[in-house]
Structure 1
Amino acid sequence: MSGRQGQGDAAAGGGPRPGSSADRASVEEPVTVVFTWNVAPGREREFEEWLHRVNQVATDFPGHQGVTWIAPDDPGGHYHALLRFSGSRALEAWLGSPERARTITELEGIAAEADRRVRTTGMETWFSLPRTAVRPPPKWKMALVSFSAVYPCVLLFTAFVSPLFQDWPLPLRTVVMPMVMAPLLTYALMPALSRVLRSWLYPDL
């Protein structure tokens, strides 16, 4: 399949220099879009077979970072998909691609989008779920994993970083820790822990 992204010829002088302001501006944050699907009664198996096919197509698309399918608890409930891409441009390229359009036509009479799509880059994307129709882990497990990431960060920060700012006013001292921890947890620790502990978070896989 095709899904190539064009690149400027920097060697010919047509692209921004590495490290320039234009180059930094082109860097996008990862984005997640949430889909909700209403599946026709009795056609759940066909829908799940379709979702495995569309997952395979999306996996090869530039910027794709994974998709999570959450099955309903009860028959007749909605399926939810959390689709992750490296940035908005890569996501829009996939959503408007002929490859995706062809897969969507296969859903006629099987399922349709139920609600408007929701985009997010927030903390709800910390748990990197497997690419299959599964239920999310229990909240107590997610809380325990979160604690395992937060506690050592707070301990190390209090021991080694806080003393450097002890003469600062309280509002400034207080803001330093969340400024450091929020990106560290979001981009490094929580995704890494969810991958390492995947068999414990999802024992049925």
Structure 2
Amino acid sequence: MTTTRPAHAVMVLVSRRARPGHEAALEATWARLSEVAATFPGYVGGQLIRPGDSGADGDERLFHMLFAFDNPAHLRAWQASPARLLGLQALEPHVEGHAVVRELSGLDHWFTPSATTPATPPPRWKVAVVTWLGIYPTVLFLFLAVAPWLDAWPLPLRTAVITCLVVVLMTWLVAPTLTRWLRPWLHARPTAT
């Protein structure tokens, strides 16, 4: 009898540089591509990270497109689809250079090294510490500031709102800020003794 490991959510981060003056067209094309991806089984969500949103790139035309699926098989089905190929062809007139594609899982996208940091990812225990340092105050703040307004709502709905706000705050504010502040510690090389 063979057993298989349970599937896990996966994300693909695609980095593309917009042609000068094509930034708005790139965004509109990505939005259409994301709408098509949403019709595929297992699609969890997508996000367009505009130049400057990540705070680390310094390239005013570098966009990052994130697609998330609930398991690798659903991601592969999307990647092999004619609909995705048509979307990529529609994107091509608005970009220059080659795509940089990274497959991520879990919280990896918050801790992916930039061009100015070492290529070695931080140890898992450091990722766990930084993740907790971001999630704890974020959840505490939301329970103090938002939860009282939701007291009359059913528990599943309250939980959905709070967790959605945690994800939004962690993705666009807390995690990028913490990883920028703690980058020297996250990517510190062990000292020889």
Q: How many residues align?
A: 129
Find the counterpart in structure 2 of residue 80 from structure 1: 64
Say whether residues 1:58 and 2:37 are aligned partners: yes
CA change 1:57–1:38 in 2 (3 A) is same
For residues 30-65 of structure 1, the C-alpha deviation after alignment (integer angstroms, 9 at most, x for no partner) is: 111111011100011111111110111001111111
SS in 2 for 1:60: coil
Say whether residues 1:147 and 2:173 are aligned partners: no
For residues 156-200 of structure 1, the C-alpha deviation after alignment (integer angstroms, 9 at most, x for no partner) is: xxxxxxxxxxxxxxxxxxxxxxxxxxxxxxxxxxx9755134676
The normalised TM-score by structure 1 is 0.51
CA distance in 2, matches of 1:121, 1:108: 27
Contact 1:41–1:76 (8 Å) recurs in 2: no
1:94-173 matched pairs, under 5 angstroms:
94-112=78-96, 114-124=98-108, 145-148=134-137
The normalised TM-score by structure 2 is 0.54
Match for 1:195 among 164, 168, 172? 164
Q: How big is the shift at 1:103? A: 1.2
Contact 2:23–2:61 (8 Å) recurs in 1: no
**Which letter maps to 1:53?**
R
**Which letter maps to 1:100?**
R
CA distance in 2, matches of 1:117, 1:109: 18
Find the counterpart in structure 1 of residue 48 from structure 2: 69
Unaligned residue ranges in structure 2 (runs of 5+):
53-57, 111-130, 141-159, 174-193
CA RMSD of aligned residues (A): 3.6
Find the counterpart in structure 2 of residue 93 from structure 1: 77
**Which letter maps to 1:80?**
H
CA change 1:125–1:118 in 2 (3 A) is closer
